[in-house]
Structure 1
């Protein structure tokens, strides 16, 4: 093959992806090896459209070429050859992150956090220059022989002439593209952070957070479904990833919160995993304490907006009587029969806990509803009142997400609320639980019944309805 642009000689193909083919090359002018990307051109473009696409690709690659950062593979040149764009970059020895996890195994939490910090550094440097990556994924993270992680392929997978991108375009990899891009909405830095979250998920779990047999099914999963449960991640990392994969870019975690959590994870010892049944789960006893500690950094950006009235002590000076949280009529509606409340309470140095259970045996299914109030006196890092309650509820949510199963938001119940199914494959009691916060009070409402192990829609409805009635009673 003739020299490209009179100076570059192709040696061998070293990689291929949705955005194009990468070659090992030699810069004959400077006598050095380089990586050369032949940008894939969408099929069906006419002469004018091809020229426009090439001009856009070259313009964006030149803009990315101004970036200079230790975690970014530097672009040296952008050329045309046979009317099509080529990008000349540093040749980084080593393997891409997708090859690492495919040829070896998924990475431990601490290593994932280290890589995440490097990628975050690269993205923040690019965003500061007004440049979006748009294709963050394991295949575009290179691991150098010294262990450094570098982000490559900046500016090459830009959408062609619109805000969003179809799955078949060269504007990114659908499994790692933020939902707003499929909705044809303008993308921005939060879109790159979504892709970072999907990448961290893949690296620690060894599989993608969303999948489907066809491109359309994959896109539907990204738009409508929650990511599959994480079983190898620590509770803190699982919590962080779920925060990055929020469907709403306005609710997605900001980079400063992501950085604090990744720093904490990179400095922490690796968690110990145990196997229960067929699922590998983390030992959550001590880990939950760490989750709540990390919560201070992760939630600081949200709590900052609540620092006015009510953010300090909160409106509850004592936990209400849980046995008065549901009336006899409400219990009859929920359980289909009357039940006598059974009170329980305990006091620790960190919080007051009081609970009440209603048990119905007449039907033979032993159905119960339990309401528990927790009033944190002081939380992690000295947080108190509403702040402590918000931090504890966030830690509880992280712990539930880390143990598997879908955690669902429950809008309209308290200041914030979520629920989770509670199946019992061993034939005990099955049901669902709702957790919510009202000012500085944390409420847990659980519905259980004996019988088949599968959680039904009626189980979920009963738990949510009970929580709604408790919330109404709290005012």
Structure 2
């Protein structure tokens, strides 16, 4: 149900306006006890599409369709993303995933498989064999469980920031951080997923196209480059994570009034000119309020946020337990 905007004045067409619950997500997380995908990465030639049996559709997005699949011989479970034929972002997604390999906070790509002519009925010509994250997306968790407690939020923030630090150190900007693209395991591990519009920066000072991604999570400079200029692309990922944390805290999209349908104009006004949503007394600690403070001109870096008291001062064991409890109940 996600909306795609094709504004005549804009050069980029990959813009989704919709806010949570309508976004790309895993609607039916597989059972916790199911066999997990193997942790060892294999060479592409060691897998073929014919080795896998489709179990279910996990999600459909602008970039492709994601299936839950089982290896016919070992019964190991994976996520298989079949990219749409001719998608201009396919090569970038593959490149970003290969560069991002080895972080526990980024969904692992086990193999890149040719889809055409494999007898699988695929609609694209490339398929990504990905790690299956058994708890689904944070979008799905909040839809079932409602607002997150601070302990769980601190763990989500810490792990997502660790993932972004790993990506940014490799000059990868995600550009579509949101609850639907943050997956969580039953063990309480948060992983960044869906690199469909990610970009690998070739040199310092590189800019990214402003009008790509999910509008509800875009930063002010991506909406209005004339007013805000071309900021560091990594700072846009920080903004998106901040909106995500607020959404999990409130149990709904935070920058529009409850029940208001998103539109390009409404989102632009809220993001570029609106104030931080008012939180009732007692709804958030001073540390959390400071962590999500909305100030475009003083946006913190990933490194600064990792050292922030809300993250660095958390009780790690208690925070992870709180996150596990949410996932188990979802």
Normalised-by-shorter TM-score class? 0.5 to 0.7
Call closer, same or farther: CA 1:264–1:4 in 2, change over 3 Å.
Answer: closer
Q: Does 1:77 align with 2:111?
A: yes
Matches for 1:41-440 after TM superposition, within 5 Å: 51=86, 53-54=87-88, 56-66=89-99, 67-81=101-115, 82-153=123-194, 155-158=195-198, 163-166=208-211, 171-183=212-224, 185=230, 188-211=233-256, 213-216=261-264, 217-231=266-280, 232-242=283-293, 245-248=294-297, 251-261=298-308, 262-267=310-315
**C-alpha separation in 1, matches of 2:147 and 2:167:** 28
* More divergent stretch after superposition (66-75 vs 4-13): 4-13
Q: Shift of residue 127 of structure 1?
A: 0.7
| Counterpart contact for 1:174–1:215, Cα < 8 Å | no
Aligned length: 246
The aligned residue for residue 414 of structure 1 is none
**For the pair shown, which has the larger CA radius of gyration, 1 or 2?**
1
> Retained in 1: the 8 A contact 2:105–2:190?
yes
Corresponding residue to 2:76 among 32, 35, 47: 32
Question: Tell me, which stretches of 5 or more residues in structure 1 are unaligned?
Answer: 42-49, 271-475
Quote the Cα distance in structure 2 between the aligned partners of 1:83 and 1:94: 27
Matched residues in 1 for 2:312 and 2:261: separation?
37
Cα RMSD of the aligned pairs, angstroms, is 2.9
Structure 1 residues 457-468: aligned runs within 5 Å: none
1:204-251 Cα offsets, whole Å, 9 max, x none, are: 111222235243122332122123212322222112101xx4334xx2
- Shift, 1:165, TM fit: 4.4
- Equivalence for 1:16: 60
**TM-score (normalised: structure 2):** 0.65
Deviations 1:32-84 (A, max 9, x none): 32102234x5xxxxxxxx74x44x42243233223211122101223454445
Q: Secondary structure at the match of 2:296?
A: coil
> 1:187: how far off?
5.3
Gaps of 5+ in 2: 1-46, 116-122, 200-206, 320-330
Aligned equivalents of 1:88, 1:9: Cα separation in 2:
12
Structure having greater relative contact order (Cα 8 Å, sep ≥ 6): 2
Cα distance change of structure 1 residues 158 and 252 upon mapping to structure 2, 3 Å threshold: same
Offset at 1:256?
2.7
Alpha-carbon separation, structure 2, partners of 1:61 and 1:187: 23
Q: TM-score normalized by structure 1?
A: 0.47
Secondary structure at the aligned position of 1:25 is classed as: strand
Could you say if the C-alpha distance between residues 25 and 194 of structure 1 is closer, same or farther in structure 2, counting changes exceeding 3 Å? same
Contact 2:247/2:254 (<8 A) preserved: yes
Secondary structure, aligned partner of 1:94: coil
Q: Cα distance 1:129–1:229, how it changes in 2: closer, same or farther (>3 A)?
A: same
* Cα distance per residue 1:113-140 (max 9 Å; x no partner): 1111000001101111111111111112
Asked whether the equivalents of residues 96 and 139 of structure 1 are also in contact (C-alpha less than 8 Å), the reply is: yes
